[in-house]
Chain A
Amino acid sequence: QQPVQSPQAVILREGEDAVINCSSSKALYSVHWYRQKHGEAPVFLMILLKGGEQKGHDKISASFNEKKQQSSLYLTASQLSYSGTYFCGTDEGIGDYKLSFGAGTTVTVRA
């Protein structure tokens, strides 16, 4: 089952912060975050396993609330290079492997 992402789109000025949410109605084993720029392939950002750990990569970090089956991606002090569409992918970890992606959140960072 596909996770639900919110918001659908966000516009930021350089230096502003944003939060992207990803929620599932199913119990999750892991959450993956990817960024896709127009005309390019999705690029892996980070993976979070159940256990509620928070990860960070430069000024982009994420958390995973196992009890709520929700993950959030935090963009801090946004840069122009952060523009793109962010996708969360969820894996229930039951039986066969299947990564389900949300519809994406388009982030536009303006100077």
Chain B
Amino acid sequence: DAGVTQSPTHLIKTRGQHVTLRCSPISGHKSVSWYQQVLGQGPQFIFQYYEKEERGRGNFPDRFSARQFPNYSSELNVNALLLGDSALYLCASSLTGNQPQHFGDGTRLSIL
């Protein structure tokens, strides 16, 4: 079975631009979570969606938004990019909310 897939793998943007990151969960998983991981730190929780509804939100500004589609795939959108948004963005899926998280390989976002 395919694991969690994320696209794109790498992305370079400039300050002020907008970015959309995509995630396809493992088949049968209804929950998708997004995390930001800065080099040398643990993943920071951004959002969790379950059955297309937002079920959890971390301490990130309103520039960050996400949604989940009927097929359970998800998008993370970040507006007005800042240099500090440079990070590895990880998507994880699970059967339900409080279940083992299966991570994708991430999208490496670099802001110039």
B79 at the interface (CB under 8 A from A): no
Pair A99/B105 contact, Cβ less than 8 Å:
no
Count, chain A residues at interface, CB 8 A: 24
B73 at the interface (CB under 8 A from A): no
| Chain A residue with Cβ nearest B90 | A41
Pair A91/B43 contact, Cβ less than 8 Å:
no
Pair B102/A98 contact, Cβ less than 8 Å:
no
**Known contacts A40-B105, A41-B103, A42-B103: A97-B97 contact under CB 8 Å:** yes
Could you say which residues of chain B place their CB within 8 Å of the CB of A70? none
B80 to chain A, nearest CB (A): 24
Known: A41-B105, A44-B102, A104-B42. 19 other contacts (CB 8 A): A41-B103, A42-B101, A44-B100, A44-B101, A47-B99, A87-B42, A91-B98, A93-B98, A96-B56, A96-B57, A97-B56, A97-B98, A98-B57, A99-B101, A100-B45, A101-B35, A101-B44, A103-B42, A104-B41
